[in-house]
């Protein structure tokens, strides 16, 4: 974080500038974003469920052909 008075870089945990002794502004806390929810489940769970469904359907349709049964 840069000092508002002299422009010197200071670590984020410092309350006073090491060069000019000016008080540093308090760091702004970032708000955590809530996970995206769709029909009661997080979005990543729906994506995983979709990938698993596609893999299951493809093994049911292509499995016998790959083994030699169809």
Determine the Cα–Cα distance for residues 11 and 21; give it in Å rounded to an integer. Answer: 14
Residue 34 lies in a domain: no
Residue 20 lies in a domain: yes
Determine the Cα–Cα distance for residues 67 and 64; give it in Å rounded to an integer. Answer: 5
Q: pLDDT for 11-67, tens place per residue? A: 988 899 999 999 998 877 778 888 788 888 899 999 999 999 999 998 888 877 766
pLDDT score at 51: 98
The total number of structural domains that make up the chain: 2
Residue 56 lies in a domain: yes
For residue 31, what is the DSSP state? P
Residue 11 belongs to domain spanning: 1-26
Residue 33 lies in a domain: no
Sign of CA dihedral 14, 17, 23, 26: negative
């Amino acid at each position: 974080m840069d000092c508002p008075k002299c422009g010197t870089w200071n670590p984020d945990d410092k309350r006073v500038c090491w060069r000019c002794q000016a008080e540093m502004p308090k760091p702004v806390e970032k708000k955590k974003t809530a996970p995206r929810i769709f029909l009661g489940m997080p979005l990543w769970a729906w994506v995983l469920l979709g990938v698993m469904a596609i893999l299951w359907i493809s093994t049911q349709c292509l499995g016998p052909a790959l083994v030699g049964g169809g």
